[in-house]
Structure 1
Amino acid sequence: MIVGELHGDVCKGAGDVHRQVDVPDVLFIFFGATGDLARRKLYPALYELWRSGELRGRMAVVGVSRRPFDDEAYREFVRKAVNEYRPFALYGEAASSFLERFFFLSADVGKPEETAKLAARIAEVEERFSLSGNRVFYLSIAPQHFAPIAQSLRTSGLLESRGFRRVVIEKPFGWDLRSARELNAALLGAFDERDIYRIDHYLGKAMVQNIAVLRFANLLFEPLWNRHYIAQVEITATETVGVGDRKGYYEAAGALRDMVQNHILQMVAMVAMEPPGRFEPEAIRDEKVKALRSLRIYRPEEVPLFVVRGQYRSGVTLGEAVPGYREEIGNPSSTTETYVAAVLFLENFRWWGVPFLVRTGKRLARKRTDIVIHFHTLPLTVKALSGIEGEELAPNRLILRVQPDEGIFLTFNVRASRSPFQLVPTAMELSRGEAIGFNTPEAYERLLYDVVVGDPTNFTRWDEVEAAWRWVDPIAEFFAAAGEEGLAFYPAGSEGPEEAQRIARRHGLPFTSLVDERAPVLP
């Protein structure tokens, strides 16, 4: 199948995907080198790039943190991190050849004298491995430290020598549009826009990257990808877990800033964008920006008609009794939302009148990230002509399963095998990792590789960030002013507040059930 073959090519693994690209050598400087993100995502991803041959012998790492490590303690930290997420990977010679390229600096680089130590360490490592001066500064730290570190890097001269200088920034990128602009101005004081890589790991997921291929490389879909044939777009990103060790961050951010402003709106842009004039990074990002700028921005009095916020209470998730959000964070009066559902409209010719239903939340019935395209149903006359009376024709649906089990499914109606007058919806699986047998690289593996080779396609440009905040800000302001009024509570382990289904029905179809095993499952 065409889609299956394309998906396979995209997802074989870093070594196969990028083999034709000339990969430069590089020095990674990780700020927040002993943090949770580095441990869970960055070091395992680097190991996979090393193991596959893409960065073997072509990279080194300087980790920066306030923790009082030396090189050996840092290498042991990295070894344990990789083995935790890639069991039995780093032992023997494989471990020594990889880990000998990791070095540590215990420092607060916001201070000029500490930045001088970093410069000396970088020079030492680059000389030892004959690196050409290409540097990637990865800020895996709290956003309030972005600007001071960028300033320190600029004044220290670390951005002035040979080779490229790129900076990678994790979300959240600002708290609102105003703070995002201030942060962006600080970064532009040290880096050019083309060298700022604002990472959104959802854009590193194979199925999200495959949206454009699915649309623009298949005549089966592109002519139908508009308001004339699509009734509704549904995007779901739900989790079964609570806030865990992110209590402080989550209480300040909430689901709207944590998920909707970045991950959800990026998926909306990928689905809604116009075909780019050429498949080059800036052309693709230009079309995403146009899609985000066409979002209808709600006035304060409109927010309750289109947006629902909720918070989980105690309940049972995956068979385990769990506390409510307020108990979990120790704040009995918190009004922070752990769930958001919204109906979005894009005011452009392609999507006029088509509701985009989005939802995200914690402590829900199932972990699932889906993009579902609901096509229009056929007119009733088709049923009459077919001789089928009293049966509902289910609309065709295209389901892009992003996680946990990647797959592409298409549902359509067929005649039941035992009755010529009964239709049943059937799912056809177009592509699935288990069926094809390819190895899907992790999102961070793809994204780190893209930073090294200088491909910004799957990173958010400043004007994308700006357009997203323009849509989010009025809603966030309404939430803050409303307090507990309008906050819908839902039990942990449920499908979320019923209010979300009500606004969905008002604007089209209800959200697909999180626990509906028929959607999608092969018959």
Structure 2
Amino acid sequence: MQIVSLLAMEQPVAFQDTDIRAEKVKALRSLRVYNVAEASTNFVRGQYGASVDGSSKEYRKEDGVPADSNNETFVAGKLLFDNYRWSGVPFYIRTGKKLADKFTRVDVVFKKPLVDIFSFPQDGNTLLSPNVLTIHIEPEQGFSLVVNAKNSEQGFHTEPVNLDFYENSQRTQATPQPYERLIHDVLKGDGTNFASWPEVASAWKFVDQVRRVWDIQQPMFPNYIPGSMGPVTADELLARDHREWVYKLNQ
């Protein structure tokens, strides 16, 4: 929710903790709190089962886990903001354990133009992919921009190309570790990278409503295997909006 609030917030008056926190709180307070039907429709939960080859056991057979546990090991959801900036723009999130890859990233998918001047059906060029900005947070830091470019073939055919930037290893090694930065911020009295109570309360107001809905529903667990990207219902969540996750398995 902290990453979501940073993405959705407006530009603060100044780059200081009080102003940044104020804008994050505004964003979180405009987050639509779902009713029972909306939470059921816009959120998916999962729990991993055993792997096909038997190398990984299911969650309910892990040490210290009750055999009838309904704890989630995967969550995917659609978030909506009721404000001028983001009205009608969905934010999709997913996170889980025992997935195919372990990373943190943000994919910003830009709208396609209303009029596609690069569509030439006679040349077989009819589909223009959306431009995508990916912010890589961990384990690598950097960003990627996927844009459409003309290929070298005859006619006018476009294809997605990647423009990538990653921190080099020399610079990464010289960069302070996350906790080093936080300790340094504490010593300086800088609360920019710390969540304030109003932020936490606004985020939990949303999360608690989803939790209450799940507590009165019986899940069908387990519903995904280790090494996948979660349950099929997570893909169906986006498919209902005629969308798909930017990151795909084996990408």
Q: Same fold (TM over 0.5)?
A: yes
1:432 to 166, 169, 178: 166
CA distance in 2, matches of 1:320, 1:435: 37
Aligned to 2:73: 338
**Residue of structure 1 equivalent to 2:240:** 506
Structure 1 residue 459 displacement after superposition: 0.2
1:24 paired residue number: none
How far 1:407 sits from its partner (Å)? 1.2
Code of the residue aligned with 2:58 in structure 1: it is G
The DSSP-based 3-state class of the residue aligned with 2:100 is coil
Distance 1:450 1:487, change over 3 A: same
- Between the aligned partners of 1:301 and 1:450, the Cα distance in structure 2 is 42
CA contact (8 A) 1:308 1:341 kept: yes
1:322 corresponds, among 53, 56, 60, to: 56
Partner of 2:108: 373
Cα offset, 1:385, TM superposition? 6.0
CA contact (8 A) 1:433 1:440 kept: no
For the residues of structure 2 that align with 1:379 and 1:464, how far apart are their CA atoms? 37
Pairing of 1:257-406 with structure 2 (within 5 A): 265-315=1-51, 321-329=55-63, 330-379=65-114, 381-384=116-119, 388-406=123-141
Residues 466, 391 of structure 1: alpha-carbon distance in 2 compared, 3 angstrom cutoff: same
1:293 deviates by 0.5
Asked if the contact 2:49–2:57 (Cα under 8 Å) also holds between the matched residues in 1, the reply is yes
CA distance in 2, matches of 1:313, 1:381: 45
1:448 Cα deviation from its structure 2 partner: 0.8
Name the structure 1 match of 2:184: 449
CA–CA distance in 2 between the matches of 1:482 and 1:500?
18
Cα gap change, 1:374/1:455 in structure 2, threshold over 3 Å: closer, same or farther? same
1:366 touches 1:514 (CA, 8 Å); kept in 2?
no
CA distance in 2 between partners of 1:384 and 1:513 (Å): 25
Alignment of 1:413-428 (within 5 A): 413-428=148-163
**Structure 2 unaligned regions, length at least 5:** none
Helix, strand or coil at the partner of 1:357:
strand
**Could you list the runs of 4 or more consecutive aligned residues of structure 1 that deviate by over 4 angstroms after TM superposition?**
385-388
User: Match of 1:19?
Assistant: none
Aligned partners of 1:394 and 1:412: how far apart in 2? 8
Pair 1:391–1:441, CA change in 2 (3 A): farther
Structure-to-structure mapping, 1:44-63, within 5 angstroms = none
The alignment of Structure 1 onto Structure 2 pairs a total of residues equal to 249
Quote the offset at 1:390 in angstroms: 4.3
Change (3 A) 1:500 1:450: same
What's the counterpart of residue 495 of structure 1?
Answer: 229
Contact 1:311-1:336 within 8 A present in 2 as well: yes
Q: Distance in 2 between matches of 1:506 and 1:310?
A: 19
Q: Which residue of 2 aligns with 1:17?
A: none
The one-letter code matched in structure 1 to 2:198 is D
For residues 376 and 348 of structure 1, do their structure 2 counterparts lie closer, same or farther at Cα, with a shift above 3 Å needed?
same
In the TM superposition, what is the alpha-carbon distance from 1:451 to its structure 2 partner?
A: 0.5
Q: Report the alpha carbon displacement of residue 377 of structure 1 after superposing the two structures with TM.
A: 1.4
Query: What letter is aligned with 1:437?
Result: R
Q: Deviations over 1:486-513 (max 9, x none)?
A: 5561011111001011111223521123
Aligned mates of 2:247, 2:124 — CA distance in 1? 27
Unmatched 5+ stretches in structure 1? 1-264, 518-523
Give the partner amino acid of 2:149.
V
Tell me if structure 1 keeps the 8 A contact 2:119–2:128. Answer: no
Shift of 1:440: 3.0
5 Å matches for 1:62-461?
A: 265-315=1-51, 321-329=55-63, 330-379=65-114, 381-384=116-119, 388-429=123-164, 431-434=165-168, 437-438=171-172, 439-461=174-196
> TM-score, normalising length from structure 2?
0.92
Task: Measure, in 1, the Cα distance between the counterparts of 2:12 and 2:117.
Answer: 37
Structure 1 residue 314 displacement after superposition: 0.8
Q: Deviations over 1:7-51 (max 9, x none)?
A: xxxxxxxxxxxxxxxxxxxxxxxxxxxxxxxxxxxxxxxxxxxxx
Aligned AA (2:188):
V
Counterpart code for 1:313 = G
| Higher-RCO chain (CA-CA 8 Å, sequence separation at least 6) | 2
Corresponding position of 1:470:
205
* SS of equivalent to 2:47: strand
Q: Find the aligned partners of 1:489 and 1:309 in 2 and give their Cα distance.
A: 9
Question: TM-score, normalized by length of structure 1?
Answer: 0.45
Contact 2:125 2:157 in 1 (8 A): no
Question: For 2:61 and 2:182, how far apart are their aligned partners in 1?
Answer: 37
